[in-house]
Amino acid sequence: MTIKKTKDIFLFSLFLMFFLNLKAVAAQIVNHSAADTAMKIMNSETAAHVLPSAYMVIPFILLLLMIATGPLFYKHFWENHYPKVSLLLSVVVILYYIIFLNNTKSLLHTLTEYISFIALLSSLFVASGGILIKVDKKSTPLVNVIFLLFGAVISNIVGTTGASMLLIRPFIKMNKNRIRPYHIIFFIFIVSNIGGALTPIGDPPLFLGFLSGVPFFWVIDNVWYIWIPTLVLVLLAFYLFDLNNKKDSPTKVEYSGKIHFKGYKNLIYLLIIVIAVFIDPVVIPWVPSLYPLPFGIREIIMFAVVIVSYKTADKEILKDNEFDFEPIKEVAYLFIGIFATMIPALQLIAYEAKEFGDKLSAGVFYWATGILSAILDNTPTYMNFLSAAMGKYGLDVTVKSNVQNFVLVDDIYLKAISVAAVFFGSLTYIGNGPNFMVKSISERAGIEMPSFFTYIVKYSVIILLPIFTIIWLLFFYGKG
């Protein structure tokens, strides 16, 4: 292990230890379920604690600006120092919450969410890194559309992260002679985000909704008719782009038309991860809670999968996949900064949403959840807006039966919040965890990806916003 890597791990561990120490201070939390605790804290944050100063949103804005501008204008500095920048900005917010607000509950809740987030992402990343899929078939616009549609469906079974990690390499290989950045961007739109809107496994906000009491099959029963037109429109846009791509191999290539698959045992690891998602005291009552630790059995299983799947992986497959921990390390560092610095922003938004919840229509919930999901984490955004929508009916998001009643009373708000939280994650590189990882894998393959701003201006605004506007007009305009 190199000195730099040892230093990185030391720095990261130090930070986690600092964060973990907070749990001792937060001993007054009495609920013994980590997930339940997380939800309760989230929704009691604004009520039980003084709101943070609006100035405390500055570290978050600064971090977002640096993520956007770093790789463009000061690449060398950013590549060498982004972990320190991310941790430093986090520490500013953490100290503010400890010293000035005396609020450790919010920090503990965020830590719980972060560990859960990184456990899922890293386990899917490592397990799928030991799988090699080779599609030796000439890519055409239609074949690509079918491939992306398959990815969208699969993302509801193995999650958007699992599907992205599993399919991005074969997608690039299939298109190696005519690949352009738009191929990757549409992959991010469809497989890494929009596809996963049908089940709670698809995307984390839907899973938290499920833990709160939204029935497992409510999503597919109520969102499919929004999912289909959205997907059709995005696939149609991709088809038109791809139809105009006349690029072909400069040398003659012969295709066997076969699909090769290596690394079957890693499918078992993926299955374990998917099953582990449900191993939570909220879902299965006999599952022991590890309170006051900020993680549960689920996270332990997922981290165990990281170690076992890496140690037992076929070295040839790892070599062919050029497996490297760097993409997940980048996500781990940047998102610890994003998770910590966004606490004040989320609390201020939650307060405003509750204050004005009565006056908000389904359309406002759709746009507000969506735009904030694109720049903040979509899971707490989903929960805050769900809480505000339920507040309209005097219901409490922390009470499971209330959530079940809310679904029966008027589900237009839940539909708006659910689809927006998932769909809009595709608007930016930071909108969803796998977006960054797909970008990183593509760059390592030699594909020049657009910058943070170019991605938004040239692709998200031009392609996605009109489609999301059509969805709003069709399903949410003038409702609620």
- 302: which 2 tokens? 């997922």
**84 touches another protein (CB under 8 A):** no
CB of residue 63 to another protein, shortest distance in Å:
20
Element (H, E) at 202: none
Query: 137, 143 in Cβ contact below 8 A?
Result: yes
Contact stretch for another protein (CB under 8 A) within 73-81, 221-229, 335-343, 452-460: 73-81
User: Of 22, 35, 94, 172, which one interacts with another protein (CB under 8 A)?
Assistant: 172
Of 6 and 21, CB closest to another protein: 6
Nearest partner of 68 among 375, 340, 342, 339, judged by Cα = 375
Sequence letter at residue 333 = Y
Beta bridge partners of 133: 261
**Which residue, among 197, 205, 171, 182, has the nearest Cα to 369 in the 3D structure?**
205
Distance CA 244, CA 140 (A): 11
Segment lying near another protein (by CB under 8 A), choices 24-32, 317-325, 376-384, 462-470: 317-325
Is 310 a binding residue for another protein by CB under 8 A? The answer is: no
The answer to whether residue 5 forms part of the interface with another protein (CB under 8 A) is yes
- Answer yes or no whether residue 256 interacts with another protein by CB under 8 A: no
Binding mask 131-170 for another protein (x = CB under 8 A): -x-x----------------------------------x-
Query: Are 389 and 413 a contacting pair, CB within 8 Å?
Result: yes
- Residue window 429-448: x/- pattern of binding to another protein, with contact defined by CB under 8 A: -----------xx-xxxxxx
Give the residue with the Cβ less far from another protein, 4 or 246: 4
Rounded Cα distance between 141 and 128, Å, is: 26
Q: Which is nearer to another protein, 321 or 381 (CB)?
A: 321
Q: CB nearer to another protein: give 326 or 355.
A: 326
Q: Which of 81, 173, 400, 479 binds another protein (CB under 8 A)?
A: 173
Cα–Cα distances (Å) from 299 to 9, 268, 278, 303, in that order, read 19, 17, 11, 6
Q: What CA–CA distances, in Å, run from 469 to 270, 472, 474, 477?
A: 35, 5, 9, 9
Q: Which of 324, 393, 474, 477 binds another protein (CB under 8 A)?
A: 324
Asked if residue 400 binds another protein (CB under 8 A), the reply is no
**How does DSSP assign 8-31, residue by residue?**
HHHHHHHHHHHHHTHHHHTTT---
127 contributes a contact to another protein by CB under 8 A: no
Q: For the chain, what's the residue count?
A: 480
By CB under 8 A, name the one of 309, 321, 381, 432 that touches another protein.
321
State which of residues 221, 248, 322, 355 lies at the interface with another protein (CB under 8 A). 322
Residue 177 structure tokens: 């002679």
**Three-class SS state of 132:** strand
Interface region with another protein, contact rule CB under 8 A, candidates 39-47, 315-323, 356-364, 383-391: 315-323
Distance CA 330, CA 333 (A): 5
Site residues (vs another protein, CB under 8 A): 2-5, 75-76, 79, 132, 134, 169, 172-173, 176, 179, 250-251, 315, 318-326, 440-441, 443-448
